[in-house]
Amino acid sequence: MSIALALSFLAACGGDAPNAANTGPVNCHVFDELDCASFHDVEPTLEVGTGVDGAPVFEPLSADGGLPVYYGPQGGYHAWLQARMTGLCPASVVFSRRIVDPILRFQSTRARMAASDDGWVASSAQQTFLCPTNVAGVSLVDTTVDLEVTLREDFGTCAGQPEPRSITKHVPVRIECPAGDDRCTDDFCHGCAAPPESYDCSG
């Protein structure tokens, strides 16, 4: 299958909400030229990395687990997460990212997958909301968190598809604020600092 065909698969766009599932209904036409069962000839694999907005670029996580965060257009701090897979049908994949410790965050997006030399990667890294924590006493500044990433096939009600597969991986990552960014390190309303027991960020 060509990368051009892979990029033609329809997908919903991800949002900035800290806890959101932006998946939408499955368009069955994405399976017209693809035999999803053939991808099940091998066991599924999943690598978690970083990437860039709008391109199927996969960068492995740093050896020390550092995960850079960036201030988002709607506030808060985000990381660009990417996934590389084999053994799953690339036509309709739900890319879920979840922080399970020390806070709970989740985002889920139907991601377009593009062919690469080592499998299939999301056609765009997924903007993943991390800060502020909104949990009293919990800071994410230079903190290692348990990142859970799941890729699952979603065939909806489309006929003739195999039993859907999924694969999950847990990765410890350490939140890295941009150098010299006091808002990230010290601000609990808009950054990654620990909120006090009582606070008001509505103003």
pLDDT tens digits, residue range 47-66?
A: 999 999 999 999 999 999 99
Q: What is the pLDDT of residue 167?
A: 98
Q: What is the pLDDT of residue 29?
A: 86
CB-based burial, 27-50: b 16+ in 10 Å, e otherwise: ebebbeebebeebbeeebebbbbb
pLDDT tens digits, residue range 105-134?
A: 899 999 989 999 999 999 999 999 999 998
Instruction: Considering only residues 41 and 16, tell me which one the structure prediction assigns the higher pLDDT.
Output: 41
Examine the pLDDT at 2 and tell me if it is beyond 70: no
H/E stretch holding 165 reads none
Examine the pLDDT at 9 and tell me if it is beyond 50: no
- Helix intervals (H) in 54-199: 182-186
Q: Is 74 left (phi over 0), alpha (psi -120 to 50) or beta?
A: alpha
Q: Partners of 96 in the beta sheet?
A: 108, 150
Q: What is the pLDDT of residue 17?
A: 60
Distance of CA 68 to the CA centre of its chain: 14
Instruction: Considering only residues 39 and 199, tell me which one the structure prediction assigns the higher pLDDT.
Output: 39
Examine the pLDDT at 6 and tell me if it is beyond 60: no
Q: Cβ–Cβ contacts within 10 Å for residue 135, how many?
A: 14
Q: What is the pLDDT of residue 164?
A: 97
Examine the pLDDT at 13 and tell me if it is beyond 50: no
Strand pairing class (93-101; 77-86): unpaired
pLDDT tens digits, residue range 27-49?
A: 898 888 889 999 999 999 999 99
**% of the chain at pLDDT higher than 90:** 75
C-alpha–C-alpha distance, residues 90 and 49, integer Å = 18
Q: What is the pLDDT of residue 19?
A: 65
